[in-house]
Amino acid sequence: MLAPRFAFLLIVALIFSGCASHGGYRPTVDPYGDPRANRIGQDFYECEGLAHQASRVGEESVKGAIVGGGIGMLGGALLGGLHGNPVQGAMVGATVGGLAGGVSQGMNAEQRFVHAYRNCMRNRGHNVID
């Protein structure tokens, strides 16, 4: 009875951690005095694609969820064993660890995305404000 609930929670955790994305971020660019102002739209498009490649947000989130789930499962089994139910402890630990690992890696990848997007726009000669 507990195994189907655990499987459901783990699947939900992996889905949510795998759905991490850049959250619609787009740097603010000041076109005043920009000799390449007519290219801003095209550069936004190209730099966003390059930033996605550089950050690998979804891929990193899934890796974090898997590693976190494994570590959580081991820790949960140990703690559950102390209370007489290592299987339930492992299930809870894997779910919590998977979600935490996925979110953490997703946030790191999000920061790489923003950094790569800003750098790309700056390297193309635009005045990036944020």
Span 6-28, pLDDT tens digits: 555 555 555 554 455 556 889 99
Domain boundaries, the chain: 36-125
Q: Please name every residue paired with 128 in a beta bridge, in sequence order, or none if there are none.
A: 29
pLDDT classification of 130: cutoffs 50, 70, 90: confident
Side-chain-side CA neighbours of 104 within 13 Å: the count stands at 13
Q: What local confidence, expressed as pLDDT, does residue 50 receive?
A: 92
Q: What tens digit of pLDDT does each residue of 23-80 get?
A: 688 999 999 999 999 999 999 999 999 998 887 766 666 767 777 777 777 777 777 7
| Spatial distance between the Cα atoms of 102 and 106, rounded to a whole number of angstroms | 6
Q: What is the pLDDT of residue 99?
A: 73
**What are the phi and psi torsion angles at 29 (to 5°)?**
-120, 130
List of residues 6+ apart from 80 with CB closer than 8 A: 86, 87, 88, 89, 90, 92, 93
